Amino acid sequence: MKRWTIRIAAALLIIFAAPDLSISLEESGGPAFTGRKIDIVMDNAEIRKVLLLFGECAGINMVIKENVKGKITLKLKNVPWDQAFHLLLDIFNLKAEYINDTMVIDKDL
């Protein structure tokens, strides 16, 4: 069983099997997000539902562990969807790990 861990702070080239989800490094050393740009507005939304929405839009099989909880209000305009997704992971101190063809999201303890 192969496992890949996504960490926002990691300076690694990360490419997933999911369509249009990739991160590479810019010359400045920061991640360059390549996903389709989106506009999203959420008011007091459950983080689990927001993450599932991203998974649904990207065609990613996703499991969210029970310890992932919280609400978020956000308004993002013209932002790559993978950047928005990783921003949520970072804000909620989450990690996303691929196990075979399924992304598992858990608290980064």
DSSP 8-class letter at 50: H
How high is the mean pLDDT in each 10-residue block of the chain (109 residues)? 32 30 47 85 96 90 96 94 93 94 89
Kindly provide the b/e burial profile for residues 45-59, where b requires at least 16 CB atoms within 10 angstroms of the residue's own CB.
bebbebbeebbeebe
Q: Where do the H-state alpha helices sit in the chain?
A: 47-58, 81-91
pLDDT at position 98 is: 93
Domains delineated in the chain: 3-107 (3.55.50.30)
pLDDT at position 30 is: 60
pTM of this structure: 0.69
Please tell me the distance from the alpha carbon of residue 72 to that of residue 50, in angstroms, as a whole number. 9
